[in-house]
Amino acid sequence: MTKAAVLDVNLKPQTVRIVTQERYVSADKRYEVECQTSGSRPDAIITWWKGSRPIKRLAKNFSEKNNHSLSILTFVPVIDDDGKYLTCRAENPSIPDSALEDKWRLNVHYIPIVTLKMGSTLNPEDIKEGDDVYFECNIRSNPKAHKLSWFHNGNEIYQNVTAGIIMSDQSLVLQNVGRATAGKYTCMATNLEGKGSSNHVVLIVKYAPVCIQEREEVYGALKQETVSLRCRVDANPAVITFHWTFNNSGEQKEVEPSRYTNEVTSSRLNYTPITDLDYGTLLCYGENEVGRQKEPCVFQVVIAGRPSPLQNCTVSNQTALGGFQVECVEGFDGGLPQSFVMEVVEIPGLRPRLNLTTYRAPPAFSVAGLEPGRAYRIALYAVNAKGRSEPTLIDPVTFKGVAKLQGSSMVVPANPLLLGLLGAAALLATGICLVLAALCRRRLQRHPHRRSPASAAIDTACTTKHVPMEAVIAAEDMQLGGVGGVATGGRSPMSPTAGSGRITIGSDTTIKLRAVDGADPDIIKNQYERRPLHSFVKVYEPRRTREDEDLEEDIEQDFDSFRQHLAKDSASHTTQNPSNHMVYRSLQRPNSQRHPIGGLSGAQTLTHKYRGPEVVTTTNRIQESCI
């Protein structure tokens, strides 16, 4: 007979480990933490602890094969958990002292926690204008804050030593505080988790009364007319007393307290001028426990009259549809309530088109619907019970016309004034052209031949090719004297018809010589005059280049061919018509010293001939006829 025995062995846990251990966790965020254990038989009981306190109802346990167990904890860390230990404990209750633990030190990151307070040495209830105050900002954060900001009434402030704002570490110092310094102050710290703002601290500054109005007020009144003057001040604490003074060009005196009334932050005076001496300046002072008002409230009482003209009027936002805006700055109202009027008239007919009135200051007008393509004048006035001011004029105001489609044609309205100006300008230009044409025609009819042959030759040469001065002088010599005293292409005094000549230089340049009417009494021929020098003259020659030498060689070759051709023509002309010629000689050049061009030696060129120690002048004397 065989018997079986069952052996039930209890084993304590062998291992326990928190699987998910983050380097840090953020406050108020949900995390799931796993803990595994093995070796326990039966399954180990897993519990969670935070510090010395157990965590209940937040974990779920699971049994796995081979004596393994798993527990998952749903965990939301808070700021106070920073630095505490989260513990996972596994134990077999059947075996005493069998518990095993694994711990995780929590590193909780959170937004900075900031608190603000005024300096401990200050009395917040007794801070006066001109005192120095400071604030302390306490910060608790993980990780450490990397930025600290300060705010006054919700607006961030920055360090400005000149203005008395000094920031040092976690402190804010305000020097020489005033009434503008009072208000709510906060500080805000920033780290990787976000921004944390502090509570606000109210700074109360006590100061003497200050006038609320920024400039003096002007009131106009007639004699025996009462005006109500109200003096309003800002003060902390409230004003205790007010007093008024009157000042004119002759005296300054106190106003009796019975003539004005005091309120919490203001005083009212009913003032009635009787004589001319009652017009002047009234000053109002307030006083509280801090002191007396330094700058008084000023009221000017003047004789009522018409308002001053509007100033700085501008036109803006013009549209093609006849719209625009006008803005002005009001002047003195004459001591009475005033309104503002704008009149729009069409010019040049001055037909009224628009009239607008406003009671707001500064005055502003909006206009729409004026007809495009026309000019307008704008007149602006200020009006009170005494009348209206001198007008402020703006003209002309024009609008670009808008094309209107009518069938198949485009009609664009035009400005009549502009068309008239354009027409007058066109007529004036036409008249000037006609007068100039008549003058030119009359001059040409009176003097049809005004130019000398040499001038014509030089002008023609300049328009065709650059010719040296030697060539031009040689050409004139040929025209006046010819070769051997014969004028080629000249005109005989016995011949009734004019002849013409032509001098060819090289193959490209031709100098045409126009015939000269020798019988014209209005013309005296051009002459060259040579005057001997009586003193030493220094001649400066420009530096010669290779191109100048080549050009001179070309000119010499052209003149060689020209001399040969001219000699042949001269011989033929002399043989055929020996008496039909006239010789013109230059002044101070006797015939015995003239050399024909053909007689120049090979080494003597025109350049050498005319380049010497003598001065050559050209005179062009024209004698007008008495007719």
308-341: pLDDT as tens digits: 999 999 988 888 777 888 999 998 888 778 899 9
Dist CA 382 CA 362 (whole Å): 11
Q: Is residue 140 part of a domain?
A: yes
Quick: pLDDT tens for 195-206: 999 999 999 999
Between 435 and 573, whose confidence is greater?
435
Q: How many domains does the chain have?
A: 5
Between 263 and 581, whose confidence is greater?
263
Q: Is residue 597 part of a domain?
A: yes
The residue-averaged pLDDT of 387-395 equals 89
Q: Is residue 447 part of a domain?
A: no
Taking phi over 0 as left and psi of -120 to 50 as alpha, with beta for the rest, 383 belongs to beta
Q: Which of 274, 303, 332 is the last residue of a domain?
A: 303
Q: Assess whether 216 and 142 both reside in one domain.
A: no
Terminal Cα distance for the chain, rounded: 180
Burial of 279 (0-12, 13-18, 19+ CB in 10 A): middle
- Find out whether 375 and 419 touch, Cβ atoms under 8 Å: no
* The pLDDT value given to residue 353: 86
Nearest to 73 by CA among 36, 20, 34, 100: 34
DSSP count for the chain of H helices, then E strands:
5, 41
Q: Is residue 430 part of a domain?
A: no
Dist CA 146 CA 76 (whole Å): 26
The residue-averaged pLDDT of 466-480 equals 47
Residue at token pair 């005192």: 131
Q: Is residue 60 part of a domain?
A: yes
Q: Assess whether 255 and 284 both reside in one domain.
A: yes
Q: Assess whether 461 and 567 both reside in one domain.
A: yes
Average pLDDT, the chain: 76
Q: Assess whether 608 and 503 both reside in one domain.
A: yes
Dist CA 104 CA 74 (whole Å): 15
Burial of 508 (0-12, 13-18, 19+ CB in 10 A): exposed
Residue 571 reports pLDDT greater than 60: no
* The pLDDT value given to residue 31: 92
Dist CA 55 CA 58 (whole Å): 7
* Token representation of residue 448: 């049809």
Dist CA 400 CA 318 (whole Å): 10
* The pLDDT value given to residue 420: 84
Q: Assess whether 240 and 318 both reside in one domain.
A: no
Contacts (Cβ under 8 Å, ≥6 apart) of 60:
71, 72
Q: Is residue 23 part of a domain?
A: yes
Q: Assess whether 72 and 121 both reside in one domain.
A: no
Residue 63 reports pLDDT greater than 90: no
Give the domain CATH number at 70.
Answer: 2.60.40.10
Sequence length of the chain is: 627
Q: Assess whether 215 and 354 both reside in one domain.
A: no
Quick: pLDDT tens for 117-176: 999 899 999 999 999 999 999 999 999 999 999 999 999 999 999 999 999 889 999 999
Q: Assess whether 473 and 591 both reside in one domain.
A: yes
Q: Assess whether 486 and 579 both reside in one domain.
A: yes
Quick: pLDDT tens for 490-515: 433 333 333 444 444 444 444 444 44
Q: Is residue 434 part of a domain?
A: no
| Least confident interval from 3-12, 249-258, 365-374 | 3-12
* Token representation of residue 244: 């008024």
Dist CA 555 CA 467 (whole Å): 9
Amino acid at 288: N
**What domain range includes position 517?**
453-619
The residue-averaged pLDDT of 262-278 equals 90
Amino acid at 597: I
Confidence of residue 89 (pLDDT cuts 50, 70, 90): very high
Confidence of residue 589 (pLDDT cuts 50, 70, 90): very low
* The pLDDT value given to residue 447: 56
Q: Assess whether 281 and 386 both reside in one domain.
A: no
The residue-averaged pLDDT of 84-113 equals 91
Confidence of residue 542 (pLDDT cuts 50, 70, 90): low
Q: Which of 106, 132, 152 is the last residue of a domain?
A: 106
Phi–psi pair at 398, nearest 5 degrees: -120, 160
Nearest to 90 by CA among 58, 44, 25: 44
Dist CA 575 CA 567 (whole Å): 12
Taking phi over 0 as left and psi of -120 to 50 as alpha, with beta for the rest, 164 belongs to left
Q: Assess whether 250 and 392 both reside in one domain.
A: no
Dist CA 360 CA 454 (whole Å): 86
Q: Is residue 416 part of a domain?
A: no
Q: What is the pTM of this model?
A: 0.48
The residue-averaged pLDDT of 92-101 equals 86
Q: Assess whether 289 and 161 both reside in one domain.
A: no
Quick: pLDDT tens for 452-472: 444 444 444 444 444 445 444
Q: 3-state class of 570 per DSSP? A: helix
Q: Which of 106, 131, 165 is the last residue of a domain?
A: 106
